[in-house]
Chains A and B, each alone.
Chain A
Amino acid sequence: MNYLPVLIALIKAVLMVAVVVVIAAYAVLAERKIAGWIQGRYGPNRTAFPVIGYIPILGKMLTRLGVFQPVADGLKFIFKEDPIPGHVNLVYYFLAPCVAFIPAMTTMAVLPFGEMDGQPLVLANLDIGMLFLLAVSSLGVYGIILAGWSANSKYPFLGGIRGSAQMISYELAMGLSILPAFLWANAPGSETGMSLFNVVQSQDQLWMVIWQPLSALIFLVALFAETNRLPFDMPEAETELVAGYNTEYGSMKFGLFFVAEYTHIVIGSGVLTVLFLGGWNFFPGLPSPWPGGWVGGVLSTLWFLLKVFTVVFFFMWIRWTLPRFRYDQVMRLGWTVLLPLALANLVLNAIFIALFDNWFV
């Protein structure tokens, strides 16, 4: 038996996970920095690293930027004492961080991040990529529910309830908002299905956000809710619920929740980029200037990452701008505004496409 393909796939997967986790760690830093800057503070700027930190000007600059902070944070998570409250349900208490962490790490498998000679750069180019993504990423809410329930105390419990209710409400709007994108991406008779790669390829002339601003907006709002970000951070709501579902967690278990949350944000930004911001396509109307071969692959990946970082920045920018919605407002927005809007949007698009196909093509 030939083990080489398995080995290569394994190496690729490990690489991808490593890169995404590092991006997530630096997203935490970016969050703290942006929070600081918006509030007139500096954010983390003290953590120095031996040797690199002592390089005359560069070291000082990196330290001021807080570049070494994630390393310190990570080490702290690993070496901190891990107290386990006496009143928790041990099995589920231990299970919850894993259940939150694994889906966050799994979704990245189907996310294409670049293109090389017309082939997608992706771990698994599934036909049902989007479906897989939706299915797996919504498993993450089980982590929140389990954490909230197993902690056996009121704040995590409330956080868990809110998390599940919110997830259910916004999942619908989210699913409905991406369908128009796929309707437009799939010409009649094509067999691309729900592959994310083809959605990107169909946007080489026109980004979906220009063509489908309403879908993009609904998707964005639902994404904020699904990733539990302010203004929809109901499960965590630190001003009302202490720390929400992860109140009883400490040390690396909390770290897992934390990394999962930020991975969700990074992957969610990636999905938004793929679906509505043209993925690695250059600007709307301009053909992508990526050359063939690996140079093109690297360039397209970098361009894609740039867009993803912009979206991540937008996430943080929103977080430090808007106050949190009240729980009933969140529910009302989800059920009475976003859901009907997404439905109408889908139906209108479908009718429009049908008429368009009948009369013009």
Chain B
Amino acid sequence: MAFKILERKPLNWAERTYLPQIITGLKITLWNLFQKKVTLEYPDVRPVIPEGYRGIPTLVKDPKGREKCVSCQLCEFVCPPKAIRIQPGEIPEDADYAHVEKAPKQFDIDMLRCIYCGFCQEVCPEEAIFLQNDFSLSGYSREEMVFPKAKLYEMGGTFPDQHNKWGKKQQAAEEAKAHG
């Protein structure tokens, strides 16, 4: 068998006073007293954020500056605490990306409700919403903590677009037109 039964020796007289053990403990703590400290002095020193961290949900744009969200409202639907409120809007006919058809008119995330579950990021068919590294946010009122679309884009920044879905669609449409 792979285990070994240790015989439990009865404590001898010195051990039963506990004093030797206390002295050993004292030695350990004294040694620790002079060790390097492990505290991360937070506001001055920031922790390294690991890959896949779920911070504040933000909206991102693609490299051409197009807002990726198509206001399908899947994230609004999936969000467990109902932190997301979306008002879908139309993209005007004469815009560059008119063929995308829809974009959010209003997109609010209530950061006081959000539980950083990441469902929105997972469900989004357009890869438009990401939970990023920011983890500390504060405000003076509840209203202030409902982040509007502009702010969400500002925090989100630009993400590379691997699929170029709408670009390809546009291209295909143009080709189809060219071939009549």
Contact = CB atoms under 8 A, between A and B. Distances in A.
B58 to A, nearest CB: 31
A29 to B, nearest CB: 16
Nearest to A40: B38
Interface string A295-325: 0000000000000000000000110111000
A339 interface: no
A267 B115 CA distance: 52
Interface residues of B, number: 15
B38 to A, nearest CB: 4
A41 interface: yes
A42 B35 CA distance: 11
A318 B33 contact: no
Nearest to B36: A40
Given A34-B33, A38-B33, A322 B22 contact: yes
A321 B38 contact: no
Given A317-B26, A322-B25, A42 B39 contact: yes
Contact of B29 (A41, A42, A321): A321
Contacts of B95: none
B165 interface: no
Contacts of B22: 318, 321-322
A321 B38 CA distance: 19
B33 A321 contact: no
Contacts of A38: 29, 32-33
Contacts of A39: 32
Contacts of A294: none
Contacts of B2: none
Interface string B11-53: 0000000000010011011101111111101000000000000
B25 A41 contact: no
A283 interface: no
A37 interface: yes
* A34, A36, A39, A41 pick with most chain B CB within 10 angstroms: A39
A37 B108 CA distance: 46
A40 B33 CA distance: 7
A317 B22 CA distance: 11
B37 A41 contact: yes
Contacts of A37: 32-34, 37
A266 B29 CA distance: 22
A322 B18 CA distance: 11
Contacts of B29: 38, 317, 320-321
Nearest to A46: B41
B35 A40 contact: yes
Contacts of A41: 37-39
A318 B26 contact: yes
Interface string A16-50: 00000000000000000010111111100000000
A321 B26 contact: yes
A317 B30 contact: yes
17 contacts: A36-B37, A36-B39, A37-B32, A37-B33, A37-B37, A40-B35, A40-B38, A41-B37, A42-B41, A317-B26, A318-B22, A320-B29, A321-B22, A321-B26, A321-B28, A321-B29, A322-B22
